[in-house]
Structure 1
Amino acid sequence: MIEWLYLFFSDEGIFLYWDAINMFLNQSKLDILSAYSILFDSSIDFSTTYLNALQPDELKTAFRKKALATHPDRSTTLGLAESELQVRFQEVSKAYEVLKFYVTKKKEKPLANPVNRAGVRKAENFARKKNCERKWKEDHFFQGKLPDRRLKIGQFLYYSKIISWQTLIDAIVWQKKQRPLFGQIAKDWGYLTSEDVVRIISQKSYQDRFGDYALRNGYLTSFQQMAIAGRQRICQPLIGSHFIRKGIVTEFQLKTLSEQVQSHNMKYWNLRDQR
């Protein structure tokens, strides 16, 4: 299986449950999913099917709606601090940039000769095949045995064939949305000013994590970055609550599964200690 890039966010471990995703998701894809969740109604049961069907006009409409709801000029009307709205507005703008780039690239079709109908049909058939393969991957249930290593609860459910690949991704995106913004915590703790937060958001690339950029450019110390990340971990809900909320497992079942995870992980560590 493809090894995915390290992502920083998560369940019982800090942005470390992105370990759970090291194998599943690359940074840019997660940013695209995150951007989608920022601009569109979070009550929608997210699937990459929605993302693949996203049209430019629909994206613009969603952006205008969110921009109006978060514009700093409306701070008095909304009863929110202008500095807080500045942060939200910048996040919305960044999300729009990410999705606009994605939609533009998605529309590009590598057809050498559009007039050649046979070539067009061949390309369309190929695209349909790829879409089927993509859907299979999204809805895929793992086939095989549990890996001989420590697992997080989300990973354990996937490898135990209880949830699909898509369900795991949905849970991780949901969890990321629930935790407080890195920049907001930094501002609340006096590490950054509102101007710093806005500057970082506007200058960093969408692949860059806020904390990494702030540390690299001297806005934060290593200790401050770790402290903020720890605060995010404490404040975010456990990923298991998503599975309960969705009716995938009950509280009792989740407790039993958590005990099974602990048993599995103890076995892994015991085996490692004997080597």
Structure 2
Amino acid sequence: MEQRISETKLFWSCEILFGSDLNVSRQFLDYLQTGGIKSAYRKRAMETHPDRLIGLDLPLRKQGIERFHAVQEAYETLLSFLRTKETCQILHGKNGAAKMRPNPPASPFRQGHTCSQSAQNGTRQDFFYHSGKIRPIILPDETRRSHSYANTENLYRGQLPLRHLLFGHFLYYSGLANWRTIARILTWQKTERPRLGELARRFGMCRQEEIASILNARKPCRPFGETAQMLGILTEHQVRVLLFHQQRMQKKFGTILVEKNLISKPELQELLDRFQDHNVTMQAQ
């Protein structure tokens, strides 16, 4: 049985594999995909492999080996986290009763792959990219950075998984966005929302000097709320209240897409309608 992994360790693992500039958050953990983890791991493993350390001084070799082991640990941690999450999704229904669901189909990544009639719900799963209704969502700077980031042949081409999806997952499995694009949008979403300390001060839960103490005591990758609880400045209930208001006040995923001119309002509405139809169908099963 998989052990529960702390949020701090998950954040640390994401920063090791994906880079410290990613602004890892709970939302990013929700959108983690096995393919993205493996791709990031291959890149980091090549960068930190001990074979690259030949000829270096002993202290540098030791540091390099420690980085390589950290990459290995981060990779195994994130895969274990996804296995645990997938097990919970498969084994438990809405009311906690045991319930088996088919695993989501693997991504075929075949040129010209089309969807077929779904035997589970009797409805045809239309994919916007293949039908040409909505163009793939590609960030402007991605086309300048690397052709591989903007290559539409690398987008998912297959059926929607037969399970409840987040909106970003829906975009990914509809062949409209890759995981890097989704991660960037999540970063925008996080940076534009009110900070937890700001909300705590606004609600009268702590003073400005207490916020400074929390920030000074906070370790890398450790959430603000967790540090505040450790210092006895905020209670667990207060942190939950603050997180609820923070999430409620942040911009919606689709709103950011429209504001960044990545899709139009009519396109967003069409996507939301299909997204809601899918989740309603999965809930009824």
Q: TM-score, normalised by structure 2?
A: 0.50
The AA in structure 2 aligned to 1:33 is L
- CA deviation map 1:76-106 (0-9, x unaligned): xxxxxxxxxxxxxxxxxxxxxxxxxxxxx98
Hey, what does 1:215 align to over in structure 2? 229
User: Does 2:22 match 1:33?
Assistant: yes
The alignment of Structure 1 onto Structure 2 pairs a total of residues equal to: 164
Sort the Cα spacing of 1:135 and 1:208 in 2 relative to 1 into closer, same or farther, 3 A: farther
| CA contact 1:6–1:26 (8 Å) conserved in 2 | no
Q: 1:158 and 2:172 equivalent?
A: yes
Q: Percent identity?
A: 25
Q: Write out per-residue CA displacement over residues 220-266 of structure 1, whole angstroms, 9 at most, x where no aligned residue.
A: 11221111111111221111122113333211111111111111111
Which residue does the alignment assign to 1:189?
203
Question: Is 1:113 matched with 2:55?
Answer: yes
Q: Is the 8 A contact 2:157 2:175 kept in 1?
A: yes
Q: Following the alignment from structure 2 to structure 1, what is the Cα–Cα distance between the partners of residues 188 and 236?
A: 27
Provide the residue aligned with 1:241 in structure 2.
255
**What CA distance in whole angstroms lies between the structure 2 residues aligned with 1:148 and 1:247?**
30
Indicate the residue corresponding to 1:90 in structure 2.
Answer: none
SS at 2:165's partner residue? Answer: coil
CA distance in 2, matches of 1:147, 1:33: 27
Structure 1 or 2: larger helix share? 1
Report the Cα offset of residue 197 of structure 1. 0.9
Q: Greater RCO between the two (CA within 8 Å, min separation 6)?
A: 1
Contact 1:141/1:165 (CA < 8 Å) preserved in 2?
A: no
Alignment of 1:245-264 (within 5 A): 245-264=259-278
Listed as ranges, the gaps of 5+ residues in structure 1 are 9-21, 36-104, 115-133
1:83-142 Cα shifts (integer Å, max 9, x gaps): xxxxxxxxxxxxxxxxxxxxxx98x9933027xxxxxxxxxxxxxxxxxxx985897522
Which aligned pairs between 1:119-198 and structure 2 lie closer than 5 A? Answer: 136=148, 140-198=154-212
For structure 2, which runs of at least 5 residues remain unmatched after alignment? Answer: 25-46, 57-145
Ranges of 4+ aligned residues in structure 1 off by more than 6 Å: 5-8
- Judged with a 3 Å threshold, the aligned counterparts in structure 2 of structure 1 residues 151 and 247 are, in CA distance, closer, same or farther, namely same
For 2:197 and 2:147, how far apart are their aligned partners in 1? 35
CA distance in 2 between partners of 1:238 and 1:30 (Å): 25
TM-score calculated relative to the size of structure 1: 0.51
What's the RMSD between the two structures over aligned residues? 3.5
